[in-house]
Amino acid sequence: MRTIGNTILITGGTSGIGRALAEAFHQLGNQVIVAGRRRELLDEVTTANPGMRSAALDVQDLASLEGFAEQIVRDYPSLNMLINNAGIMKPENLRERSDFSTVEATVTTNLLAPLRLAAALLPHLRQQPRAALMNVSSGLAFVPMALTPTYCATKAAIHSWTQSLRWQLRDTAVEVLELIPPYVHTELMGERQRQDPRAMPLADYIAEVMQILRSQPDIKEICVRRVDLLRYAGGLDPAKYDETFHGLNAGFGETREK
């Protein structure tokens, strides 16, 4: 994908990886729109980054996503890139009966919302000369952390869905990418994570991601070296995996709309 000349919508863009990505793309001269639930945080980000735009969005309100997409396209007709980044991660004790609202909120935020927003924006993205859709998954999509089972399950689902979307859009102008972070200094699981010495510094992570995007414009999965242990934990050679995936899907000989 191109790292310049884009109009980019980033969900969950007021903190953590989302904000850092927004600022990195903004610094390259892209028009960036950060989306988030809290207006005060949106204002904080745009004030710190003159020229960056914002849009209020509560991804848990699934019914609002189609209208949000329609408004974004009206406001930014040059929109050619969506980064589905918004996510939540909460611990769960499956041995005890717990409040199921954590499961529902995690599935809604991490899985249903990005799928629905992508579906709402894809007709517009397909009309652009060049476009990209990037889903943020996790190294935990490949090796789950038992403490956060629903989070890991949603990220595994995002990985699978992203592969299918990439295959279905392979003959269009829409590139489909997956950003696969390792354990990074953010507040996804609270203040402790932001200070945990085992986590990768956020600035280092974003710098490596942007370097990968600049140096490998045709890349489909963006993996920094710190996440390789999780991504390839199965020991399967990446090329062999791609061969298997393509063989499986090509073998079905599906029909698709042009």
pLDDT above 90: residue 176: yes
User: What pLDDT score was predicted for residue 258?
Assistant: 36
Q: Which domains does the chain have, with CATH numbers?
A: 7-252 (3.40.50.720)
H/E stretch holding 18 reads helix 16-27
For 54-73, give the DSSP string. EEE--TT-GGGHHHHHHHHH
* Predicted confidence (pLDDT) at residue 225 exceeds the cutoff of 70: yes
Of residues 248 and 26, more confidently modeled: 26
Q: In this predicted structure, what is the pLDDT of residue 256?
A: 43
- At residue 22, does pLDDT exceed 50? yes
> What pLDDT, on a 0 to 100 scale, did the predictor assign at position 250?
82
**Which residues are annotated as catalytic?**
151
Q: Which residues of 142-173 are buried (b: 16+ CB within 10 A; e: fewer)?
A: bebeeebbbbbbbbbbbbebbbebbbebeeee
Residue-wise pLDDT for 89-139, tens only, equals 999 999 887 779 999 999 999 999 999 999 999 999 999 999 999 999 999
Taking CA atoms, 54 is separated from 38, 86, 129, in Å, by: 11, 14, 24
Residue with tokens 């889903």: 135
Q: In whole angstroms, give the CA distance from residue 19 to residue 203.
A: 11
Q: What is the DSSP string of 173-213?
A: SEEEEEE---SBSSSTT-HHHHH-TTSBPHHHHHHHHHHHH
Using an 8 Å Cβ cutoff, are 38 and 19 in contact?
no
Q: Compute the average pLDDT of residues 35-45.
A: 97
Asked if residue 172 has pLDDT above 60, the reply is yes
The CA-atom distances, in angstroms, between 19 and each of 11, 27, 36, 41, 50 are: 9, 12, 10, 10, 14
**Alpha carbons 70 and 148: distance in angstroms, whole number:** 34
The pLDDT score that the predictor gives to residue 68 is: 98
Does residue 11 carry a pLDDT above 50?
yes
Taking the C-alpha atoms of residue 7 and residue 82, their distance in angstroms, rounded to an integer, is: 9
> What is the C-alpha separation between 27 and 118, in angstroms, rounded?
25
